[in-house]
Amino acid sequence: MPTALISSIQHRLDRFRQQQRVRAGSLIMTVFGDVVLPRGGRIWLGSLIRLLEPLGLNERLVRTSVFRLGKEQWLRADAHGRRAEYVLTSSGRLRFEEASRHIYASHAPIWDRRWRFILVVRELDARQRDRLCQALQWQGFGSLDNDCFVHPSTDLEAAFDTLVAEGLSDVMGGLLPLVAATARTALTGSDADLVARAWNLDRLAESYTNFVSDYLPILAELRRDRMASIEPEEAFLLRVLLIHDYRRLLLRDPELPEVLLPADWPGQTARMLCRELYRRLTEPSELHLDTHLLLADGTVPERLIEWAHRFPSDDPLASISA
């Protein structure tokens, strides 16, 4: 492999390893959604530990994080003798299947020119309100004030299901869903005014720009050196970080229609970059998983056909310039 390519990949991996504080639980959930779910949704804990060790996550950190994810009802443990497999709970699977429809889509949802609102219609205590705000922000909702949240295209029923899965059943009776044809029918002001009030697009644009800066050099090297091969383990590690970083961006992105976005919005560039780089990493990373993703009995689960073609290659998007 050319030195420049090794350098660009190693630079990204080393930057992750050098972080003083790693959100291991979030990274583990990325692995479950992108890697484990397509192979049946379960993995032996020892195998998960070995897969993540090259990213600097030690055994104790992985075990502690998995235990916490179990308490938060993302994962459950299945004992197999002295070994344990971990599997997504039904609510955890639901949350990932909903997220996957956005993460691996070739384009943002088509806007029907209707806004989705969630109104808080009864008093919530400070803890309930903070949990609600955080959960809705991670679904891409903007906040107009403490009692009104807005999104351009989400399925409100699915949004409420996600809140229940997040453990917010106690506040559901105080929420009112509302769909309005335009912003003017729900509050004073234009659609553009609503966007300016509800979201900090400058901050999101900066995050997308940083994502492109991180991964575009790697894609450029992979394109230039067509005869070069990337090592299976490196492909797997880079794939995990790619989807982890992109997922965290997209979950905060309301995916506004183009007419309401600033000129030269970097979100679409990030989407095309993630799509092409992911395609190039998929096959070599799967070679690594064919020998290192194990169940408790030592067998390797096969990749399920319905998950085998993420980021379809026949979508109409033009290729990103690198």
Averaged over successive runs of 10 residues, the pLDDT of the chain (322 residues) comes to: 64 86 88 92 96 95 94 90 92 78 77 91 91 89 90 89 83 90 56 89 95 94 74 95 93 87 91 93 94 96 75 54 61
**Residues 96 and 130 reside in one and the same domain:** no
Inside any domain, residue 97: yes
Contacts of 130 (CB under 8 A, 6+ apart): none
Domain count for the chain: 2
**Residues 64 and 32 reside in one and the same domain:** yes
For 176, the 3-state DSSP assignment is strand
Predicted confidence (pLDDT) per residue in 90-122, tens digit: 878 877 777 777 788 777 778 888 899 999 999
Greatest pairwise CA separation for the chain in angstroms = 63
**Residues 215 and 311 reside in one and the same domain:** yes
End-to-end CA distance of the chain: 19
Expressed as residue numbers, the domain containing 140 is: 115-180
Helices (H) and strands (E) in the chain, counts: 12, 7
pTM: 0.85
The DSSP code sequence of 73-121 is: TSEEEEEETTEEEEEE-HHHHHHHHHHHHHHT-SSPPPP-S-EEEEEE-
* Token output for 119: 């109104």
Measured distance CA(156)–CA(178) in Å, rounded = 9
For 267, the 3-state DSSP assignment is helix
**Residues 69 and 175 reside in one and the same domain:** no
Predicted confidence (pLDDT) per residue in 131-141, tens digit: 999 889 888 89
Q: Which amino acid is at 284?
A: P
**Residues 252 and 164 reside in one and the same domain:** no
